[in-house]
Structure 1
Amino acid sequence: MSVVDFEWEPAWEPLPAAQPAPRANGRALLRRWLAIATLVAAAGGGGWLAAAHYQTHLAGAEALEAAEAYVLRLTNIDADDVDRNFAQIAEGSTGEFKAMHTRSGTAIRQLLIDNKATARGHVTEAVVKSADRNHVVVVLLVNQAVRNAANPEPVIDRSRVRMTMDKVDGRWLASRVELV
């Protein structure tokens, strides 16, 4: 039978005495403080960048929601209620698009009434193409069922719409609408 001696302990050597760190001269101390200040500024800049990115993302999401609602105003038309439809379109637009709609509204209004036209739109897909805090470009895929006196059965029209949304007095308004 073998005997195991558990009383053995390794021999520990004492650690060498710590030498005091050399005292930094004025230049070394200045460099150290500049390095610390640079790190703090960089961390703060990253926070600012993250906040700016969040604000842009939020603007894009808000404008996308407003564009989806607005394209439904444009694509849901009823000849029996055309004045209300046109008022809603004018209320949600600004700039170039509002001016164009105002100029051509009378002729389009009469055409819709004469042909007893109705249309129902549905957004199938919508994405933000570009965004900043006050200006967002959105692309929407829209299906629209159109019928009139000559065609009582609905005809499906599939459109891709690029809509520019601008933030005006806290509201997202369509400033440009294009079929692409």
Structure 2
Amino acid sequence: MRWPKPRRTSDRPVDDTAPEIADAEVGEPDRDEQPTAPGRRRRESRALAYTLLPVLALLLASAAGYLKWQQESVREAQVAGAESLRAATDGAIALLSYKPETVQKDLDAARSRLTGTFLNAYTSLTHDVVIPGAQQKQIAAVASVPAAATVQASASHAVVLLFINQSLTIGQDVPTNSASSVQVGLDKIDGRWLISKFDPV
């Protein structure tokens, strides 16, 4: 009978230094790598907030002010356009309409719708030519504005394009009709839109 051979243990020496190395590697973290303290982070957050909030508030206020100004400008332009368009239309009809028996009164009343150099030119033309001719030849004129459009408009000045029809009757003759387009300039003076230019185009 053969007895089993006893097992041989390893001849290599036991490494007793491993735990020491492991213990040496596990130590306190370097102070330079430590996270920022909570108190310091809070102070930095507050400082950042105090810096950014006023800037954001200023930007928001500026944006709101600009939008309000823009809306008011658009609204003023729309109101000016509507008012000047009506003034140009009514003014053109008044300037070009009269009867022989009331021509002096009709055209003098129309002068109240004018301003500037155009007022002076219109006054000279009507007094020197139109009124005497209408009275002598029994001329009657009737004007209408079938179409009109605003070219530009601001709070104090506007330009309007008018399409004008005029019917002219001399004595007992058959009326003659004419059509024209006129660019009208208007200025707002003392709350009223007055015609300052009246140029055929």
TM category, shorter: 0.7 to 0.9
Secondary structure of residue in 2 paired with 1:80: coil
Question: Where in structure 2 are the equivalents of 1:66-145 lying within 5 Å?
Answer: 66-108=87-129, 109-145=131-167
After superposition, give the CA deviation of every residue in 1:10-32 in whole Å (9 maximum; x if it has no partner).
xxxxxxxxxx9885253553133
**How much is the aligned-residue C-alpha RMSD, in angstroms?**
2.0
2:199 is equivalent to residue 175 of structure 1: no
Partner of 1:6: none
Partner of 2:9: none
Q: Which amino acid aligns with 1:127?
A: A
Partner of 1:7: none
Partner of 2:182: 161
Q: Work out which of the two has the higher radius of gyration on C-alpha atoms and give 1 or 2.
A: 2
User: 2: CA distance between counterparts of 1:74 and 1:102?
Assistant: 11
Q: C-alpha displacement at 1:43, in angstroms?
A: 1.5
Structure number with the higher helix fraction is 2
Q: C-alpha displacement at 1:114, in angstroms?
A: 2.1
Q: C-alpha displacement at 1:155, in angstroms?
A: 1.1
- With structure 1 as the length reference, what TM-score do the two structures score? 0.81
User: 2: CA distance between counterparts of 1:21 and 1:117?
Assistant: 92
Partner of 2:10: none
Q: C-alpha displacement at 1:178, in angstroms?
A: 1.2
Q: C-alpha displacement at 1:92, in angstroms?
A: 0.9
Structure 1 runs, 4 residues or longer, greater than 4 Å off: 20-23
Say which is worse superposed, 151-160 or 138-147, in terms of deviation: 151-160
- Is there any run of 5+ residues in structure 2 with no aligned partner, and where? 1-40
2:47 is equivalent to residue 26 of structure 1: yes
Say which is worse superposed, 75-84 or 23-32, in terms of deviation: 23-32
After superposition, give the CA deviation of every residue in 1:135-179 in whole Å (9 maximum; x if it has no partner).
111111011111113x71111110101111111111111111111
- Is there any run of 5+ residues in structure 1 with no aligned partner, and where? 1-19
How many residue pairs end up in the alignment? 160
Q: C-alpha displacement at 1:74, in angstroms?
A: 1.5
Bigger relative CO (Cα 8 Å, ≥ 6 apart): 1
User: 1: CA distance between counterparts of 2:74 and 2:114?
Assistant: 26
- With structure 2 as the length reference, what TM-score do the two structures score? 0.73
Question: Where in structure 2 are the equivalents of 1:55-66 lying within 5 Å?
Answer: 55-66=76-87
Partner of 2:11: none
User: 1: CA distance between counterparts of 2:105 and 2:124?
Assistant: 17
User: 2: CA distance between counterparts of 1:144 and 1:102?
Assistant: 20
User: 2: CA distance between counterparts of 1:78 and 1:178?
Assistant: 24
Partner of 2:71: 50
Q: Which amino acid aligns with 2:72?
A: A
User: 1: CA distance between counterparts of 2:107 and 2:61?
Assistant: 55
